């Protein structure tokens, strides 16, 4: 059955790669990697639909769950872990579940991926609800652990998204929003940590980054929800305010202090020349979005 999957096919471009020089090997890998962005680009309409669904869930108190096994699971954990330090969101807003649990992050424990009941149980343990969104990640599109979690999410009424790298997969048929990243056969046949993994990481980055941009965690292209909890972050906050409000570094520091260490409030104060109370009022009315607050 596996031999028919696109991700398991031998790649003509890398035939005989074991007899090539180091630079030739790298050129083959690099040439194949160029196909990844194109594969992701073909799925942008589906990715946009997924982002809109995630934004709607977040706006109504929902959470985002990633579920995967092996490389797919590790990529989900990586993206979820980066959301709090990048955007200062609560740690439970984006959660990742990997088959085999935490030990699977450091060493392969893929035996659990063959049991859909474990996937269902692991997701149920997070108390998923109809307000949440589940993203099932499986390069093959057939991982039983992931499919079990998808079925549990559907049972409780959560919206489901599937990321796979093979056409017409079982995962794509099971979810509301399928994202099929057809990157083609791998340089090393079946090694989906390569092109499939790269494509998957790109999409996960898009899902969270675009969703949080939509929710106002970015102004221009600046991280405006940074919390100045140490000297490095305070310096970053001043630089963001200085750039966003077109003020000097000293003025940015004064605005940050006057805004109670809120970067977004400081920017609105500096650009609109208003008090902290008025800036906070505008931001509340704008749902925390700086651009909208400055239109008031």
Q: CA angle, 133 as apex, 141 and 225 as ends, to 5°?
A: 120
Domain 2-214: assigned CATH number: 3.40.50.10490
Tens digit of each residue's pLDDT (9 = 90 or more) over 121-146: 999 999 999 999 999 999 999 999 99
pTM, 2 dp: 0.89
Tens digit of each residue's pLDDT (9 = 90 or more) over 193-236: 999 999 999 999 999 999 999 999 999 999 999 888 889 989 99
**Where exactly are the structural domains of the chain?**
2-214, 218-293
Catalytic residues: 82, 113
Res. 154: pLDDT tops 70: yes
Domain 218-293: assigned CATH number: 1.10.8.1080
- For 19, 68, 156, 163, 223, the CA distances from 197, given in Å and listed in that order, are 25, 12, 29, 11, 27
């Amino acid at each position: 059955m596996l031999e028919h999957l696109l991700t398991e096919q031998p790649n003509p471009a890398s035939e005989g790669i074991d007899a090539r020089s180091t630079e030739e090997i790298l050129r083959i890998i690099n040439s194949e990697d160029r196909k990844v962005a194109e594969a992701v680009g073909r799925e942008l309409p589906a990715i946009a639909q997924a982002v809109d669904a995630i934004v709607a869930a977040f706006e109504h108190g929902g959470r985002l769950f990633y579920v995967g096994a092996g490389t797919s699971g590790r990529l989900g954990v990586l993206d979820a872990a980066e959301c709090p330090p990048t955007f200062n969101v609560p740690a439970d807003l984006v959660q990742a579940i990997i088959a085999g649990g935490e030990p699977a992050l450091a060493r392969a424990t893929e035996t659990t991926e063959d049991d859909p009941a474990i996937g269902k149980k692991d997701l149920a343990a997070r108390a998923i609800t109809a307000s949440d969104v589940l993203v099932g990640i499986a390069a093959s599109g057939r991982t039983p652990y992931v499919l079990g979690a998808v079925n549990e999410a559907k049972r409780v009424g959560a919206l489901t998204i599937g990321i796979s790298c093979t056409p017409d997969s079982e995962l794509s048929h099971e979810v509301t929003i399928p994202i099929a990243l057809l990157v083609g056969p791998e340089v090393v046949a079946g090694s989906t940590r390569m092109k499939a993994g790269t494509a998957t990481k790109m999409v996960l980055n898009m899902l969270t980054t675009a969703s949080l941009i939509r929710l106002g965690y970015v102004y221009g292209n600046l991280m405006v929800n940074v919390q100045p909890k140490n000297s490095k972050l305070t310096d970053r906050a001043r630089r963001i305010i200085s750039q966003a409000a077109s003020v000097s570094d000293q003025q940015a520091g004064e605005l940050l202090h006057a805004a109670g260490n809120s970067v977004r409030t400081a920017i609105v104060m500096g650009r609109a020349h208003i008090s902290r109370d008025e800036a906070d009022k505008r931001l509340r009315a704008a749902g925390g979005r700086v651009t909208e607050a400055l239109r008031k």
